[in-house]
Amino acid sequence: MTAAVIDGITILKNEPLSKYTFTRTGGPADQLAFPRSVEEVEALLQYASRQHLPVTVIGNASNLIVRDGGIRGLTLILTAMAKITVDGDQVTAQAGARLIDTTEAAYRAGLSDFEFACGIPGSIGGAVYMNAGAYGGEIKDILVAATVLTQAGELKRYDNAGMAFSYRHSIVQDTGDVVLQATFQLTPAPKPDIRARMDKLNARRASKQPLEYPSCGSVFKRPVGHYVGPMIQQADLQGHKIGGAQISMKHAGFIVNINHATATDYMAMIRYVQKNVLAKFGVQLEPEVRIIGTEQAL
């Protein structure tokens, strides 16, 4: 690994992304930067444009698989942009703010409706990007507006309708815009009630999800009329291993890294599950996890 400084911003060269992903897998980024402000994001996009580099944007890398060949061009990880502010019954958070921290800020302000996300390990930008949800709540239910930077380098504001939310989808997946911050409309409520709900959901999550192992969270989208975990169990796949990756014994909808798994192991497991579930149930599972990067060269 080497580093360069561009416009006052440190850019790491050939940096292993396994250091940052929740699966602890992934090849190197050709160039990697951690912008601290909108201005630095703009400067880095201008740099990439001058150098004709493709740009990839990552948040907390919790629901992400980076292939073992790594990522070409310039990769931006936005976790240094993590400011959270409260104004009345609205909370505004920058893209790199963790959902866990944002829900805690809402709790401290006596604001409810964000509890569903209290245990999700992702960032605000990633949550808006994929319309993250859990326990009956989704980002679309509370988002007022999101500020993005377009591929043309222009700041743009989407209101809730403009985000075109659907299940695990938003318009920025189609446009390539970079989410910079988001504002959420919440509801005042007694703080003990908010805390009780957060504690209940966190306990439920800890009891059902394999938090003791590296993973990318829930791997597959839920098909209409079905639940992924039970289908994988009924197909007798739970516990199956490929390399260092295993279908979790605690929750079959998770693939965990039990022994130095590679992204290639993860991808092979995803294909294995899809093939077997399709054969048994006639259901084609679609990945919920974001998969990026290039295959490892042979």
Could you please report the per-residue DSSP string of 156-192? EEEETGGGT-BTTB-THHHH-PEEEEEEEE-EE--HH
Q: Taken in order 168, 236, 280, 207, is the CA torsion positive or negative?
A: negative
Residues 168 and 254 in one domain: no
Residues 93 and 49 in one domain: no
- Say whether 168 is catalytic: yes
Query: Pairing relation of β-strands 215-218 and 254-257?
Result: antiparallel
Give the rounded percent of residues in the chain with a pLDDT score beyond 90. Answer: 89
Residue 24 inside a domain? The answer is yes
**Which of 172, 206, 240 finishes a domain?**
206
What pLDDT is attached to residue 153? 84
CATH of the domain at 10: 3.30.43.10
DSSP state of 252: T
CATH of the domain at 195: 3.30.465.10
Residue 173 inside a domain? The answer is yes
CATH of the domain at 277: 3.90.78.10
Residues 88 and 202 in one domain: yes
What pLDDT is attached to residue 296? 74
Residues 99 and 157 in one domain: yes
- Which is the catalytic residue, given 98, 170, 288, 290? 288
Structural domain harbouring 279: 210-292
Residues 71 and 105 in one domain: no
Task: Give residue-wise pLDDT tens across range 125-169.
Answer: 999 999 999 999 999 999 999 999 998 889 999 999 999 999 999
Residue 220 inside a domain? The answer is yes
Residue 297, pLDDT above cutoff 90: no
Residue 297 inside a domain? The answer is no
Residues 150 and 69 in one domain: no
Query: Per-residue pLDDT averaged across 226-248, rounded?
Result: 97
The total number of structural domains in the chain stands at 3
Residue 132 inside a domain? The answer is yes
Residues 109 and 154 in one domain: yes
Confidence band of 298 (pLDDT split at 50, 70, 90)? very low
Residues 179 and 233 in one domain: no
- Which is the catalytic residue, given 62, 112, 218, 248? 218
Residues 7 and 38 in one domain: yes
Residue 235 inside a domain? The answer is yes
Residue 157 inside a domain? The answer is yes
- Say whether 15 is catalytic: no
**Which of 206, 225, 256 finishes a domain?**
206
- Which is the catalytic residue, given 18, 67, 98, 168? 168
**Which of 174, 206, 238 finishes a domain?**
206
Using DSSP's 3-state secondary structure scheme, residue 65 falls into: strand
Q: Which of 196, 217, 224 is nearest to 287 (CA)?
A: 217
Provide the whole-model pTM.
0.90
- Number of H-type helices and E-type strands within the chain: 7, 20
Residues 97 and 178 in one domain: yes
CA separation for the pair 65, 13 (Å, rounded): 20
Residue 97 inside a domain? The answer is yes
